[in-house]
Every structure is written in C-alpha cells, then in structure tokens.
Structure 1
Amino acid sequence: MYPKNIMEVFASPKNLVKLLKRDLQFNQFCMEEHLKKGDTLVLDSKNEFFYMLESGYLKETYTDILNIQFHLIVKPPHFPIFATTEEEMPESVSLNALTDVRWWKIDFQFFKKVLYSEDPRSYVVLHNLLFVKSRLYELVVKDRMEAADRIYYTLLQLLDISLVTGRNRAEFPRFLDYTLLAELASTSRSYTVTLLGELRDKGILVTNKKPWKLENIAALQALLFKEK
C-alpha cells in the first residue's frame, strides 16, 4: 500500500517543476504556456509532449476508434494526456480551455528521464493511475444509468469543483452550461434543457443567470438514489 497523501504532494505541479529544474536541460525541454478561455488544442497518437496543468480548467475529449467521444474535466493537480505507455496514446484528444489556463509543455522523453532518476517509487505514475481508475469507474457507472440519472449524477460530480454557499447549497463554475453538461452526461442538449427546467420548477436548481446555483443538494441526491 502507498500513502495517498505522499503521492499527492510528490506529484503536485509545484514539486514536479522543482524536480525538473534540477536537470540542466530544463530550459531546453520545458516551456510555460498560457491558453485563453476557449482555446483548443487537438493531439494525436504522435504527440511528443507532456502537459502539466498549473492553473485553470480543461475539457478533455477522447475520440475512440468507433468515433464515440468521452468528455471529462481536468484541473490541477491532475494531468491531461498522461499515457503510461506509448501504445496508450489515443488516436485523437481535444483539450479545450474552459477558463484561462497555465501549463508546462514538457518534452515527454525528458520527463521520463527525470522521473527515472527522481521518482524511483513511481509516485507520479501511480497518482495518475489512481485518477484514471476513478474516472473510468465513474464512466462505467454513468453508462449503466438512464439519461436523467446521468444528468443528476454529473451535477453531483461537479460539486467537487463548485463553491459551497450553505449547508445544502452550492454554486457551480461559471463555465457550466447546457452544452457542457450534456456532453459530460452523454445526453442530448435538448433533453438536458428540459430536465433542468424540471429541476428549476422543483426549486432544486437556478439557471436563469451565471453561475448556476444548486439550491437543494439533498433533493438532487434523493432523485438519483430513489428506487427505480
């Protein structure tokens, strides 16, 4: 067993930059970049860079061989596009900046070289695998749900990046809208609009202006966990 808190500290962007800077070739292979809200970067299986997110939120979209898309939100300290083997790199990945973003663009071979010497216990890789494992579990759970439950579940997931405003209330990030919620929940936008209208009528959700507000977390949980 590995202590999770140690892995989180070791794999944090702040610590990784410190480790990378120990190598004299840091400035040659590492570049800090800024993305504006709305910027999109599309990568393929030939991508040669590792992206380490320092601040901001990304929507990461994978397109599989059947042209089916999977969407997730990535924030620090998690990494977009961290393949543990070269064969794992998907055919197409789109990174869309939901907010202004700051990240380090790092040559992947250089990154591997530093990890070999500075991370003998593979904390960075293990930390990423735990993140991927939890996201895959969530995707499997959602895949078995009906459309309405997928939306309820996704809204509750988003509480992890929302502002708690009361004992039973929260404020969602300003970038959340009908289109993004529909993508995350794998439903149509029109159905999402209709269902959220029902939540508004029940006094559970406020979406007439940004940011959206969840007025009754317990009521939303009850809708998800009610007997089918």
Structure 2
Amino acid sequence: MYSESFFPNIKEKIDAMQLLRSDPDFHESCYEKRIKKGEVLTRKIINNNLFFIEAGVMKFSYAKDQAFIFQHFLEPTEFLRLTEYTEELPMEYRYEAITDIVGWVIDFPFFERVLAKEDPHNFILMQHFLRTRKKFFQASIRANLDATERVYFCIYRLMYDGFHAKPNSIELPMFVNYVLLADMANVSKSLVTLVCKSLREDEILVSSKRPWTIIDVKRFMELMAQEKIPIDAED
C-alpha cells in the first residue's frame, strides 16, 4: 500500500499556472477570460477547453426533472473542466458564476505536454481528482439528509470559506444569501428563512447584513452534533 505522504495534500494548492507560465509557448496556448456574475457555461459552450479559475467562485449543477441540482463550488486554483472525468458527469450540467470570474482558457495538448515535463508524478492531476472526489462525497452526504439538516450542513460547508474575524466567530462568504442557500440545500427559500430565524433567535447567526456571520461557532457545532449531521474528522 502507498503511504499517506505519497499523495499530494488536497488542502495545499499547487500553482499549476506557475508551471504553465514557465513554458515559452504559454502566451500562444493560453489567454485570459472574464466571466460575469450570473453567466452560465454549459457542456456545449465549454466544448474541449480547459479553464483555470484565478479569481472568483463558480457552482457546478446537473439537470434533473427540468431543474439544476447544486453539487459543489469551484474556487481559485481549480480547473473548471478536465477531460479525464467528463464521461462520468451527467449528460446535462452547467457551471454558473456566483461572483465575477477571472481565469485562463488553456489549450489542452499544451497543458498535457507541460505537465508531462514539469509534473511527472502527476501531483496536480491527483490533487484535482482527490479534491473533486471529496466534493462529490460531501454532496452524497448532503443528499441523504432531511431538508432542515441540509440547510445546517450547507452553512457548515460555507464556514470553510469564511473569515475568522474573531474567536468563535466566522463571517460567511459575501455571496451567501437566502436564495443561494436554498439552491445549495435543494429546499425552498421559505424553509431557509425559518432555519435562519431559529439560528438568529438562538444567537448563533447574524444575517441582517452581509457578510452573514456565525457569531457562536461552538454552539453551531453542538447543534450539528445534536442533529447527528456528519462533519469532517478533523473538526
């Protein structure tokens, strides 16, 4: 068996663009692209391009019963699409920018050639696949919770991208609102409103202005334990 250290740390973001920029053909094979908040990219639009997110956040969803079901976010240093796993994706899916995006469109043969030379152990691809695997595993956990538990779980996941302004307090990302949280949890906006009202009354959440803030992280985690909602081992 491989030792744990054989695999790259999925929490440590490897700078793939630095490797690509070091190649003399970089400017002939890559170009920057801006994507506005709300813009949607589908399988047909993306085609065979590889897209690297430099700034901003996108969400990945798949089609079911004439609606798109949220799966996970993609953030800076992540690839929007890699051909190695596209056959495992649903037939109809889309990426939507939930903030303004700046990224790079990369010629895939160029990408393969540079990585074969500069990353012979495939740490960049392994990190990408391990990270994607974890996101889909989290999505499977979320799908098996009841509606209220899904809202709690989504808030918990958003805390990972939050700002620890002070002890026992986390500011959630600026893009968080009732509509986004309802989309993440696949529930109605009215249920999200009720859950957030309860958290406010328990003096756990402040959502009257952005950024939303978990003002008592300890009590929120106790609530997660009380509801028996799965959390990461390190928490």
Whether TM exceeds 0.5 here: the answer is: yes
2:204 aligns with 204
Q: Aligned equivalents of 1:89 and 1:114: distance in 2?
A: 26
| Cα distance, 1:3 vs structure 2 | 4.7
Return closer, same or farther for 1:211/1:102 CA change in 2, 3 Å cut-off.
Answer: same
State yes or no: 1:76 paired with 2:80.
no
2:34 aligns with 34
1:4 aligns with 8
| Cα distance, 1:45 vs structure 2 | 9.1
TM-score using structure 1 length: 0.86
Query: Structure 1: any 5+ residue segments left out of the alignment?
Result: none
Structure 1 residues 98-107 or 75-84, which shifts more?
A: 75-84
Instruction: Check conservation: 2:61, 2:68, Cα contact below 8 A.
Output: no
Structure 1 residues 85-94 or 49-58, which shifts more?
A: 85-94
Instruction: Check conservation: 2:159, 2:170, Cα contact below 8 A.
Output: yes
Return closer, same or farther for 1:21/1:64 CA change in 2, 3 Å cut-off.
Answer: farther
State yes or no: 1:174 paired with 2:163.
no
Deviation per residue, 1:90-143 (Å, 9 max, x gap): 433322222222111112233223223332211111001111121122112112
Return closer, same or farther for 1:20/1:67 CA change in 2, 3 Å cut-off.
Answer: same
Deviation per residue, 1:14-40 (Å, 9 max, x gap): xx2232234443223211112233333
Instruction: Check conservation: 1:61, 1:69, Cα contact below 8 A.
Output: yes
Q: Aligned equivalents of 2:18 and 2:227: distance in 1?
A: 51
1:147 aligns with 147
State yes or no: 1:58 paired with 2:62.
no
Q: Aligned equivalents of 2:90 and 2:66: distance in 1?
A: 12
Return closer, same or farther for 1:89/1:119 CA change in 2, 3 Å cut-off.
Answer: farther
Instruction: Check conservation: 1:154, 1:181, Cα contact below 8 A.
Output: yes
Amino acid at match of 1:55: A
Return closer, same or farther for 1:85/1:171 CA change in 2, 3 Å cut-off.
Answer: closer
Return closer, same or farther for 1:126/1:33 CA change in 2, 3 Å cut-off.
Answer: same
TM-score using structure 2 length: 0.83
Q: How many residues align?
A: 224
Off by >3 Å, runs of 4+ in structure 1: 5-9, 21-25, 64-68
RMSD of aligned alpha carbons: 2.6
Amino acid at match of 1:128: H
Alignment of 1:213-228 (within 5 A): 213-226=213-226
Q: Aligned equivalents of 2:68 and 2:59: distance in 1?
A: 16
